[in-house]
């Protein structure tokens, strides 16, 4: 590794990915932006992963090994002490980065110095590097992204770059399986974040992936994440409130008054006083309010339709207005 401090640390946690890690490493070494360190931390792989890494000679590679198998959270968090770059780019050891991924992200940070975390879209490939025709797209409106992150993860983990000081401020990852969502949600409620409208990654979709093997365990992590973020925002955090910001939402269980108050408080917390949500974000938020009142509004549906702070003349369609009016009338006669 060169003695000069790199601008970017590319962090690759490795464990038993002998079949894919060579391609993952090469996709980083072949980047159009060359001034980085590739920090590879092997978590005591039991296959030939280490041999595949050592096949490649490049001064930008810095290889570390855990003294015993510690898991991905511990392994990635070694970067809290080890990373030398101003930025950290996450790279999973079985994915492939597009050739200008680092350059594109750095250009966006330069254009928008207020951003602390940026990601992008991902095309899916199979175990033989063949495109599946599917894509993981992320929300690219920063204002709407800030809200959408409360509902679900809107970052492709292996596409992101973040400021190292912010990664350290939040003390890295905390929980297994949903560790990326937990970290990015915490960051996004405090600082501006963004996604490029560009594919930055070829994400490997194979049956041995954690998201498929541990789908139920992953799901079980989500509500505690919501509880933690609501508590950190000093908002009610019991299970009913957690479910109001968790997909899929059972609209029939939502209390209108609680939902309204929660979201008024959320807006005050996640949108700074000097800024307001974008028109696209306001429309999205109104659509969710519309679902709540259509399921729970009863004869008051049309009254709730025009309720602040969700309503805006640019947010709805004539069809939605008619449906809301009919819903009120229908429920009015039901109660007579």
* Side-chain-facing half-sphere of 266: CA atoms under 13 Å: 26
Task: Please state at what angle helix 215-232 crosses helix 179-188, rounded to 10 degrees.
Answer: 20
Cis ω before 248 (30° cut-off from 0): yes
pLDDT category of residue 26 using cuts at 50, 70 and 90: very high
Write out pLDDT tens, residues 299-324. Answer: 999 999 999 889 999 999 999 999 99
Mean pLDDT value of segment 129-147? 94
pLDDT of residue 208: 47
Write out pLDDT tens, residues 38-90. Answer: 999 999 999 999 999 999 999 999 999 999 999 999 999 999 999 999 999 99
CA 132 to each of CA 100, 233, 257, 330: distance values in angstroms, whole numbers, following the listed order: 22, 40, 44, 47
Mean pLDDT value of segment 257-273? 89
pLDDT of residue 213: 56
Write out pLDDT tens, residues 207-257. Answer: 544 555 566 666 678 999 999 999 999 999 999 999 999 988 888 889 999
Q: Kindly tell me if the per-residue pLDDT of 118 is higher than 50.
A: yes
Domain boundaries, given as residue ranges, for the chain: 8-215, 238-334
Angle at 211 between CA 54 and CA 56, to 5 degrees: 10
The whole-angstrom separation of Cα 75 and Cα 71 is 6
Q: CB under 8 Å to 317, separation ≥6 — which residues?
A: none
Q: CB under 8 Å to 61, separation ≥6 — which residues?
A: 1, 25, 29, 37, 38, 40, 53
The percentage of the chain sitting over the pLDDT mark of 90, rounded to a whole number, equals: 82
pLDDT of residue 2: 46
Task: Please state at what angle helix 279-296 crosses helix 318-334, rounded to 10 degrees.
Answer: 20
DSSP state string for 227-276: HHHHHHTTS--SHHHHHHTSSSP-GGG--HHHHHHHHHHHHHHHS-TT--
Contact 221, 210 (CB under 8 A): no
Q: Which CATH architecture group holds 8-215? A: Alpha-Beta Complex (3.90)
Q: CB under 8 Å to 87, separation ≥6 — which residues?
A: 7, 8, 9, 105, 106, 109, 161, 162, 163, 164
């Amino acid at each position: 590794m060169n003695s000069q401090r790199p601008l970017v640390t590319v962090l690759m946690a490795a464990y038993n990915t002998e079949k894919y890690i060579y391609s993952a490493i090469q996709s980083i070494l072949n980047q159009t932006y060359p001034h980085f360190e590739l920090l590879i931390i092997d978590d005591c792989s039991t296959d030939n992963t280490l041999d595949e890494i050592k096949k490649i000679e490049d001064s930008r590679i810095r290889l570390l090994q855990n003294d015993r198998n510690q898991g991905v959270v511990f392994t990635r968090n070694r970067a809290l002490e080890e990373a030398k770059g101003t930025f950290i780019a996450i790279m999973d050891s079985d994915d492939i980065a597009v050739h200008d991924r680092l350059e594109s992200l750095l250009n966006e940070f330069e254009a928008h110095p207020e951003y602390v975390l940026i990601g992008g879209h991902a095309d899916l490939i199979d175990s033989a590097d063949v495109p599946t025709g599917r894509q993981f797209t992320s929300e690219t409106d920063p204002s709407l992204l800030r809200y959408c992150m409360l509902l679900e993860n809107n970052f492709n983990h292996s596409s992101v770059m973040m400021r190292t000081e912010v990664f350290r401020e939040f003390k890295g990852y905390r929980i297994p399986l949903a560790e990326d969502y937990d970290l990015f949600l915490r960051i996004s409620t405090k600082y501006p974040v963004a996604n490029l409208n560009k594919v930055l990654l070829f994400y490997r979709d194979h049956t041995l992936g954690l998201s498929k093997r541990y789908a139920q365990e992953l799901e079980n992590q989500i509500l505690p994440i919501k509880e933690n973020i609501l508590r950190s925002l000093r908002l009610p955090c019991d299970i009913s409130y957690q479910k109001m910001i968790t997909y899929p939402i059972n609209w029939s269980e939502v209390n209108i008054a609680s939902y309204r108050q929660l979201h008024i408080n959320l807006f005050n917390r996640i949108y700074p006083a000097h800024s307001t949500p974008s028109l696209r974000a306001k429309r999205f938020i109104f659509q969710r309010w519309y679902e709540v009142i259509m399921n729970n509004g009863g004869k008051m549906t049309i009254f709730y339709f025009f309720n602040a702070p969700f309503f805006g003349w640019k947010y709805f369609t004539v069809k939605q207005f008619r449906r809301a009016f009919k819903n009120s009338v229908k429920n009015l006669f039901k109660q007579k």
